[in-house]
Amino acid sequence: NAGVTQTPKFRILKIGQSMTLQCTQDMNHNYMYWYRQDPGMGLKLIYYSVGAGITDKGEVPNGYNVSRSTTEDFPLRLELAAPSQTSVYFCASSSIAPTGELFFGEGSRLTVL
Amino acid sequence: QKEVEQDPGPLSVPEGAIVSLNCTYSNSAFQYFMWYRQYSRKGPELLMYTYSSGNKEDGRFTAQVDKSSKYISLFIRDSQPSDSATYLCAMGPGANSKLTFGKGITLSVRP
């Protein structure tokens, strides 16, 4: 089973560039999340979605946008990349919220220079 | 006071040791408690899940929750090199019914 698939795995951006991190899940989960993980800082929630067409901000949404047009896909858009967005980004999904197990992708490692 | 605090580590132990990983929290509304394990350059995976107070055992792993002290622990018996990973505690429901994660502790088990 594929589970949660993220692309790309690695990317280097220049300051001011934009890009989209892709996330797809094949478990028919309604709940999807984007986290960023910085060294020694744990996981910070950027955006989440409770179903197709519904998204909401997490703790650290500034500089990011999301959309959820289908149950399977939850892309994260970075506009005007800044060095502070250098991080590892994880997409996750869950069938039950807030008590359900989160299934994570393998991460997208982004460097902004 | 931060909502969830986790021992910073890193932690290095010899193979076969008993490992104790701990988190404290301040939000008395937290009802469910999880431990995620994250291998290097991988996404976190759920290791243990506990609802409310008490102990839960799964093989060499025991999760313990003490709601009166706002303290949770993960014990690993007979630790193995394959246990070398980062361990994150998580609990909820927090703000907007979301999980709150600890910062994680990196464990290294030496052969």
pLDDT, one tens digit per residue, over B84-111 is 999 999 998 876 668 889 999 999 999 9
**Mean pLDDT of the residues in chain A:** 93
Q: Quick one: what percent of chain B has pLDDT higher than 90?
A: 77
Q: Which of A23, A104, A106, A108 to mutate to test the interface with B (most CBs of B within 10 A)?
A: A104
pLDDT digits (tens, 9 = 90+) for B20-54: 999 999 988 888 999 999 999 999 999 999 988 88
Are residues A90 and A107 in contact, defined by beta-carbon separation less than 8 angstroms? yes
* pLDDT tens digits for range A33-85: 999 999 888 899 999 999 999 999 999 999 999 999 999 999 999 989 999 99
Q: CB–CB of A90 and B92 under 8 A?
A: no
Give the separation between CA A1 and CA A103, rounded to whole angstroms. Answer: 12
Query: How much is the pLDDT for B1?
Result: 64
> Which chain A residues touch B33 with a CB distance below 8 Å?
none
Is A92 near chain B, with CB under 8 Å?
yes
Contact A109, A12 (CB under 8 A): no
For the segment A100-112, the average pLDDT, to the nearest whole number, is 94
Other residues' Cβ atoms within 10 Å of the Cβ of residue A77: 14
- φ/ψ (deg, to 5) at B4: -135, 130
Share of chain B above pLDDT 70, in %: 96
Comparing C-alpha atoms, which of A89, A71, A81, A69 is closest to residue A14? A81
Q: Phi first, then psi: give them for residue B95, nearest 5 degrees.
A: -60, 135
- Kindly tell me if the per-residue pLDDT of B7 is higher than 70: yes
Average pLDDT, whole number, for chain B? 92
Q: Is A90 on the interface with B (CB under 8 A)?
A: yes
Could you give the CA distance from residue B6 to residue B104 in angstroms, rounded to a whole number?
7
